[in-house]
Amino acid sequence: MPRVTQPAAPAPAWMAAVHRWSGRIAILLTVPVTVHCIYALGFQTYSVRVYVHSVLGCLFYGAFVAKMLSLVRRDTMPRWVLPVLGGVVFVSLIALWATSSLWLFTTKGVHS
């Protein structure tokens, strides 16, 4: 006999505000990393990996800020915009990790 599941209960009313504010806090926490990368290191092109990392960093932060600050609250946007931006944020974050942390751990190892 197939199992019948109940629909999910609606989220509490305060959950939307917590979700929005956690996104805003996430932006504030990433500002130091972004400022360091842009102003201390700059947009680098001396190797393919570093060039791709620079492009992905710009793509990630632009999509991240657009998703978190402006597009989430707009009712006039097409419904597909938010999931597409979420996908861009996710894929670019994974690619950024692959072009920095994964590269460091596989070439230099973990330093104590």
Both tokens assigned to 29: 């926490």
pLDDT 10s digits, 39-95: 888 888 888 888 888 888 888 888 888 887 766 666 777 878 888 888 888 898 888
3-state secondary structure 58-88: HHHHHHHHHHHHHHCCCCCCCCCHHHHHHHH
CA distance from start to end of the chain? 56
Both tokens assigned to 80: 């597909």
Judge if pTM exceeds 0.75: no
pLDDT 10s digits, 24-35: 888 788 888 888
Entry field: residues in the chain:
112
Q: Where do the structural domains in the chain lie, given as residue ranges?
A: 15-107
Rounded to whole angstroms, how far apart are CA atoms 27 and 34?
A: 10
